[in-house]
Amino acid sequence: MAKNTLSSRFRKVDIDEYDENKFVDEQEEAAEQQGPDEAEVDSLIRQYPLREQERAQGIVLKVLTSFRSSEIEQAVKSLDKNSVDLLMKYIYKGFEKPSDNSSAILLQWHEKAFAVGGLGSIVRVLTARKTV
The whole-angstrom separation of Cα 84 and Cα 63 is 15
Residue closer to another protein by CB (options 7, 127) is 127
The whole-angstrom separation of Cα 94 and Cα 103 is 8
Q: How far is the CB of 66 from another protein (least distance, A)?
A: 28
End-to-end CA, the chain: 17
Residue closer to another protein by CB (options 83, 103) is 83
Q: How far is the CB of 81 from another protein (least distance, A)?
A: 6
Q: How far is the CB of 124 from another protein (least distance, A)?
A: 5
For 46-55, which contacts have Cβ atoms below 8 Å and span 24 or more sequence positions? 53/131, 53/132
Interface residues with another protein (CB under 8 A) are 15-16, 19, 21, 81-82, 85, 117-121, 123-124, 127-129
Residue closer to another protein by CB (options 45, 123) is 123
121 in Cβ contact with 85 (< 8 Å):
yes
The whole-angstrom separation of Cα 72 and Cα 42 is 41
Residue closer to another protein by CB (options 48, 55) is 48
